[in-house]
Structures are given as C-alpha cells and as structure tokens.
Amino acid sequence: MDVFLARLGKRDAHLRPGIGLQRSWGQEETAHLGKSGNLADEVRAAITEVLSVLDEPLPPACAL
C-alpha cells in the first residue's frame, strides 16, 4: 500500500472493495458500436448502471 500511495501522490483515488462483474458484447454488436463511435459510451453506461445500483460513487470518467 505504501508503494501505491507514494506513486499516487496528491491525486484523487477511488478505492472500493473488489467487485467482480462481467458484461459481454457480441462481436457484431462491438463492431457496430466501434464503427459508430459509441463503444466507449456503451461501456461507460454499463459501469454507471452497476455502480448506481450498488449506491457507489461514480469515477470521474462516468460523469461525462
């Protein structure tokens, strides 16, 4: 932990207990989302949904 904190410096960190989840997108859906530029938004929305249900704070990337 000391090594992690030293590398982190004064930056914010969002630490939480481990949560193991899996969400899969099919190859065709992933290709379509990638071509349309919506893949990152889809992943962000899935993460936001799970963390919201768990009443956990959202990381800054999910607040876009």
pTM listed for this prediction: 0.61
Alpha carbon of residue 19 to chain centroid: 12
| Domain contains 33 | yes
**Is position 60 within any domain?**
yes
For residue 64, being part of any structural domain is answered with yes
Q: What is the pLDDT along the chain (64 residues), one digit of tens a residue?
A: 889 889 999 988 877 778 788 889 999 999 999 999 999 999 999 989 998 998 988 888 777 6
b/e sequence 25-64, b meaning 16+ C-beta within 10 Å:
eeeeeeeebeeeeebeebebeebbeebeeeeeeeeeeeee
Asked whether residue 18 is domain-assigned, the answer is no
Residue 47 lies in a domain: yes
Number of structural domains (the chain) is: 1
**Which residue range is the domain that position 55 belongs to?**
27-64
Position 26 scores a pLDDT of: 94
Indicate the residue type of 23.
R
